[in-house]
Amino acid sequence: MGSSLKRNLLYSVSYQILIMILPFIVTPYVSRVLTPDQLGEYSHANSLAYYFFLFSMLGVNSYGTREISKVKYDKSKLKSTFWQIYYIQFFLAIIAIILYLIFLYVLKLDGFLYYIQIIYLGSIFFDINWLAFGLERFRFITLRNVLIKLLSIILIFLLVKNPGDIWIYGLIMTVSVVVSLFFIWPIVFVEIGFQRPKMKLIFHHIRPDVLLMIPFLASSAFTYLDNFMLGFAADIKNVAYYTYANSLPNMLLGIMTGVVSVLMSRMSYLTVHSHEESEKLFFASMRFTSILNIGLTFGAIGVAKRFINIYLGPQYDTALPMFYVMLLTVPVNGFSSLVRSAYMIPNKMDKQAMKASLFGGIVKLLLNFIFISLIGVIGICISSVASHAFMIVIQYIYTKKEICYLKILRDMPYYILVAITMIAFIWIIESLKINVYWKIFLQIGGGGSIYVTGSLIKLLTVKDPFVNAIIDKFRNRNH
């Protein structure tokens, strides 16, 4: 694993860890200042706008990252490729905003929170993160995101003081997205330059772009479709309960997002220039992310109840069963996401990735209709886990000849056993009558140490090449 890849992973994962930590600061404040109904309405408005956002971006984030990665060392091809893809994005952004306004008019959704989402949709004109990902500018992306995120949190604490400030909260959340995207455009002006692309070359990108839209549309729809359907089929406060039940899994999956965003760019380059290296990187990534996701899932289940009390407040105790179920999406979603983004897309298995995600989305939709009427919001959680698991089955059918899944999964029962030991330790500490802060420290520190130690013992026993390389490097430094 090259030093630049390690740095990129460090930047990307560090930012995702920061994203995990910051909600522990701001969410307890927001959930107490604003009501569940208000937060539910904001989540509903944002989920509605997000569908139009997805439409306008098509598969640009994935397709753009892949195509830019391939030509990043050829300045002429880089310029033409960037502007051909961006022109598609620009015109679709106009269509998306018009369709969104028509949708609001037809459904008579005239609340302020729905109209400020137009600002969010306007960010599509400036969203060229795929360029930075393709060029592997992860240091720049991380520093920019940290700056904007911290600034938006400061503004929330300064300006959101009571339930009447829900509109301020909505503005901060939408405007911060737009502002963050301005920072990336100097790369275009300084390093790439302008070129008016030919229409024939623009249309050349549409078909593969659309193919990559469907997997990510289906993946994103898992959460936003749930919010959308709950908003119409149940009490609006259930949207808030479900949103927060999904918050902890999303925080944990954020680490996967950091890994996947780096790997997609590097794998897209390696599949063209070094197939052997791409295979080694893929299997190493699958092994370590699977180990990580198992540990995060079981650890989070162990502390979920205390997490809700501290993070959200007692009014959200109703969400505890949802937390337990939704945490199961971490290993299945993480696995399917890495197979899709780090293998199928870089290897141009676009049609297969599309079908797997499309089938998963259809299953999700059908299960939502069935479970909402039968068991309510907890049914939405169950359908999320089931649909992600179904997607893995479809991915396996398409990739079993190329990927040796036994090589990835054969040691997983061991890590699950270690994780069960960890969660048993966490629950034992929970039963002790000691200071609550000592209890949290022992649960996180002790439980984490048990899992890390158990995992390292296994990796050293099987002489994992990545771990051995780290040990050899450490030894060489001391000689």
Which residues lie below 8 Å from residue 114, measured CB to CB, with a gap of 6+? 45, 48, 49, 104
Selected residue with higher pLDDT from 183 and 468: 183
Q: Is 404 left (phi over 0), alpha (psi -120 to 50) or beta?
A: beta
Flag the least confident range among 29-38, 62-71, 272-281: 272-281
Predicted confidence (pLDDT) per residue in 167-201, tens digit: 888 889 888 888 888 888 888 888 888 888 888 88
Structure-token pair, residue 320: 């505890």
The answer to whether 146 and 16 have CB atoms below 8 angstroms apart is no
Mean pLDDT of 362-389: 84
The answer to whether residue 462 scores a pLDDT higher than 60 is yes
Q: Give mean pLDDT, residues 363-386.
A: 83
Predicted confidence band of residue 469 (pLDDT cuts 50, 70, 90): low
Inter-residue long-range contacts of 186-191, CB under 8 Å, 24+ positions, other chains counted:
187/131, 187/132, 187/135, 187/137, 187/140, 188/82, 188/128, 188/131
The Cα–Cα gap between 216 and 101 comes to 24
Instruction: Summarize the confidence of residues 232-249 as an average pLDDT.
Output: 71
Q: Report the C-alpha gap between 331 and 255 in whole angstroms.
A: 12
Domain coordinates in residue numbering, the chain: 3-410, 411-473
Chain CA centroid to CA 403, Å:
24
Q: How confident is the model at residue 334 (pLDDT cuts 50, 70, 90)?
A: confident
Q: How confident is the model at residue 450 (pLDDT cuts 50, 70, 90)?
A: very high
pTM (predicted TM-score): 0.71
Q: Over 90: is that where the pLDDT of 107 sits?
A: no
Nearest Cα residue to 168 out of 11, 362, 34: 34
Q: Which residue has better confidence, 373 or 99? A: 99
pLDDT tens, residue by residue, 396-436 = 999 888 888 888 788 889 999 999 999 999 888 888 888 77
pLDDT of residue 56: 78
* Phi, psi dihedral angles at 478 (to 5 degrees): -90, 5
Average pLDDT, the chain: 81
State the average pLDDT over residues 65-94.
87
Q: Is the pLDDT confidence value at 219 over 70?
A: no
As a whole number of Å, the end-to-end CA separation of the chain is 22
Which tokens in the block code for residue 342? 């780090």
Residue with the bigger pLDDT between 396 and 4: it is 396
d(CA 325, CA 332): 12
Work out the pLDDT band at 348, boundaries 50, 70, 90. Answer: confident
Distance CA 60, CA 58 (A): 6
| Backbone Cα Rg of the chain | 23
Between CA 44 and CA 242 the distance in angstroms is 11
20 has pLDDT over 80 = no
